[in-house]
Amino acid sequence: MPRYESVLDLIGNTPVVDVSALSPKPNVAILAKLEGHNPAGSVKDRVALSLIEAAEEDGRLKPGVPGQTLIEPSSGNTGIALAMVCRLRGYHLKVVLPTNVSPERRQLLLAFGAEIIDSPGSEGSNGAVRLAQSLSEANPSWVFLYQYANPANPLIHYKTTGPEILADVPEITHFVAGLGTSGTLMGVGRFLKEHRPEVQIWAVEPPSGEMVDGLRSLDDGYVPPIFTDNDGEHLLDRKVIVRPRESIEWTRRLTDVGLFVGLSSGAAMAGAVKCAATIDDAESATIVTIIADDGWKYLSTGAWSDDLDDVVERAKTTIYF
Amino acid sequence: MAAVLRIPTVLRPAMGGESVIAVEGSTVGEVLLKLTTTYPAIKGQLLNEDGTLHRFLNVYVNDDDVRYLGGVEASITNNDEITLLPAVAGGVW
């Protein structure tokens, strides 16, 4: 095994595993890229390091200078990844976190020394983004990396995740991933379209907007600037909604192939299965999907052990993505 | 074509408080245009003046986002389920 100088060197180059045993069609292979293998436990490790290195390059952050503070809205994984990188670099991190994330996410942020600023759970990630924006404006000395708009987010996926997928799965025909900030889909999608224009890019979304109480009208909605800046509407070939029940069912089904993963990964797998179902029996296809993180941070949700109806009901008020 | 329309919480006050209604139309645009006639309070909330979808409105036909199926031209068939959802950041279910 190689020897590494820093934990940060362990980010990326994640394994891909064949989960075709769960494919609804024998002519369609499904491969899962296991981003939970990153050191802080999720695909967001790539993004966090990229955002911080970009800020160091453009001078907004100065390595080694004490007293520097960052602020970022996150429902968990980006915050945790940033907290890990900030701990190593000596930056103070404030994470604006909706109150209704799983307690394990909160614990991990604290473990890496981040400070948590609560935002109303009923407003979801929209509320966290708004609060972080206003706090950043009120405190101009704080560095606001703003993962939803920072080009360093999709860029790292263009530079690393995309090439890794093409190298490991050259026969790829479809790429399926959760939308979120859209960084993964925009970066990987653009790379794949440039190198294999025939590859179809599918986005998976939970029915988020239904549960956000803070919306007064549709004009309070939000589309990540990254999505608009990368012309996401043209880059994506298809976008499907995956409901809580399907996400949890597929999170459970993934244990049949030995994978214990987070609930957004269950949603991505559900999306991959929907994608597989559209392939004609006479054709063959290879779908790659992203397993964003492992299941450890969601044990308290009872997703694997409790009654499915109860878990689905609780999912409506808890942020799992 | 007769379809079922699921209305998001944010639009319900202006649409009689219902969460699910029956609608008719052969395309998504036709259905949405009829809705703005029936419920004038949501005019401008569903469609832009040029007839395209409101930027923060996602419309799904049987779980597929219609922006990738031809937008307002996406066709509706009998018993389709149409879901309107506001676009929001990240993931709350």
Rg of chain B in Å (alpha carbons): 12
* pLDDT over 70 at A289, yes or no: yes
- pTM for the model stands at 0.94
Closest-CA residue in chain A for B69? Answer: A238
Q: Which of B45, B58, B90 sits opposite A217 (nearest CB)?
A: B45
| A277-294: average pLDDT | 97
CA distance B58 to A247: 20
Closest CA to B59 of A212, A241, A211: A241
Considering only A30-39, A123-132, A245-254, which range has the smallest mean pLDDT? A123-132
Compute CA distances A176 → A33, A208, B20, whole Å: 11, 18, 30
- In this prediction the ipTM stands at 0.91
Supply the pLDDT for residue B93: 32
Report chain B residues whose CB lies below 8 A from the CB of A241.
60, 63-65, 83, 85
In A3-160, which residue ranges form alpha helices assigned H by DSSP?
Answer: 44-57, 77-89, 103-111, 124-138, 152-156
Supply the pLDDT for residue A314: 82
Cβ A207–B93 below 8 Å, yes or no? yes
| A285-308: average pLDDT | 95
